[in-house]
Amino acid sequence: MFHKGVMGLAWMAKNQRSIGAVPEEEYEVPIGKAKVVREGTDVSIVTLSLSVHHSLDVAEKLAGEGISVEALDLRSLVPLDREAVIATAAKTGKVIVVDEGYQSFGLSGEIAATITEHDPALLKHFSRVCVPDVPIPYAHELEYAVLPTAARIEAAVRTAVAA
């Protein structure tokens, strides 16, 4: 599967990370094994798919200001690499889940539950950059208003670091 943001739809903004070259040799992405795609110490972003690329863009931008963002690419949801989620939460204490799913009843709540069921003291801050509980708008501008954009991710990171 791949994200519709890389399908070539003319009206969709492209993230250059998501349309770059891929290795020519064979390789495997292990299912159920998340990957820390950027090490950091101040705040952790837990995400997947196209939002990984947006999160890395934000992390690079904020690194210039001395904000260290860790990015965890879940890569699969079932099975979910709960150990990696707990490890990044333990490392930074501040977790932001970025997900194109709805805020209610989805991945972000499962990530929060995973951490707090393990040890609620791990979290000093938790927030979600998700789609609000509204239907996805048809108009392109309105769709981007509800999706987790780099601007929304950056704002969440700044709030987490200030907490």
The pLDDT tens digits of the residues spanning 78-91 come to 999 999 999 999 99
Residues 6+ apart with CB under 8 A from 15: 5, 50, 53, 54, 57
The answer to whether residue 105 scores a pLDDT higher than 70 is yes
pLDDT, tens digit (0-9, with 9 covering 90-100), for 44-95:
999 998 899 999 999 999 999 999 999 999 999 999 999 999 999 999 999 9
The answer to whether residue 138 scores a pLDDT higher than 90 is no
Where is pLDDT greater, at 57 or 6? 57
Note the Cα 22 to chain centre separation in Å. 21
The model's pTM: 0.90
Where is pLDDT greater, at 6 or 72? 72
How far apart CA 10 and CA 79 sit, in angstroms, is: 34
What are the C-alpha distances in Å from 52 to residues 78, 87, 116, 122, 148? 18, 18, 23, 23, 11
pLDDT at 9: 62
Estimate the crossing angle of helix 107-118 against helix 82-92, to 10 degrees.
70
Q: What is the DSSP string of 90-119?
A: HHHSEEEEEEEEESTTSHHHHHHHHHHHH-
pLDDT at 11: 62
When computed from its CA atoms, the radius of gyration of the chain, rounded to whole angstroms, is 16
Query: In the structure, what pLDDT confidence band is assigned to residue 20 with cuts at 50, 70 and 90?
Result: confident
